[in-house]
Structure 1
Amino acid sequence: MPDRLNADDHEGDPVGRRVRVRLRVTPQGLEIIGDAVRAGEIEALLQQLEPAMIERMLCG
């Protein structure tokens, strides 16, 4: 799987908090693909997202 972040993303985020996430609905359910400058940032984000919150985000 290719990186979601590029060199400009790393240079433009000296604190290391940049995260990119792609949500895609598949026949099997919701696919969440993400990348972060620091892995801990995306892990913390995903731990905070409950299924109901993700559903609200997808429904607008």
Structure 2
Amino acid sequence: MADYRMVEHIPDLIQAEEYDRHPEGRLVRVSIRVDGEGVQVLGDAFRPELLEKLLETLGPDAIEQMLCG
């Protein structure tokens, strides 16, 4: 299991105006970037448990997350 770390900021991939278009709450958005330091997978979801399950299957050492609000 990955080590979860709280961070102050992660870029939003879902904007507030999208909430009304997805009343069932199943929207998950993922961004994958590759650079000189490795692979970065960012995710945003209405239901965090869906995103956490997806990220954990990738086998990372750590998953960074932030409190929303």
TM-score tier after normalising by the smaller chain length: 0.5 to 0.7
Which residues of structure 1 form unaligned runs of 5+? 52-60
Q: Which has the higher strand share?
A: 2
Q: Does 1:47 align with 2:56?
A: yes
Q: CA deviation at 1:47?
A: 2.3
Q: Which has the higher helix share?
A: 1
TM-score by length of 2: 0.59
Q: CA deviation at 1:50?
A: 5.7
What percent of counterpart residues are identical? 41
| Correspondent of 1:5 among 14, 38, 56 | 14
Q: CA deviation at 1:8?
A: 3.0
TM-score by length of 1: 0.66
Point out which structure has higher relative CO (alpha carbons under 8 A, 6+ apart): 2
Q: Which moved more, 1:6-15 or 1:30-39?
A: 6-15
Deviations 1:3-31 (A, max 9, x none): 11012322111121111111000111100
SS at match of 1:10: helix
**In 1, Cα distance between equivalents of 2:27 and 2:34:** 23
Which residues of structure 2 form unaligned runs of 5+? 1-9, 61-69
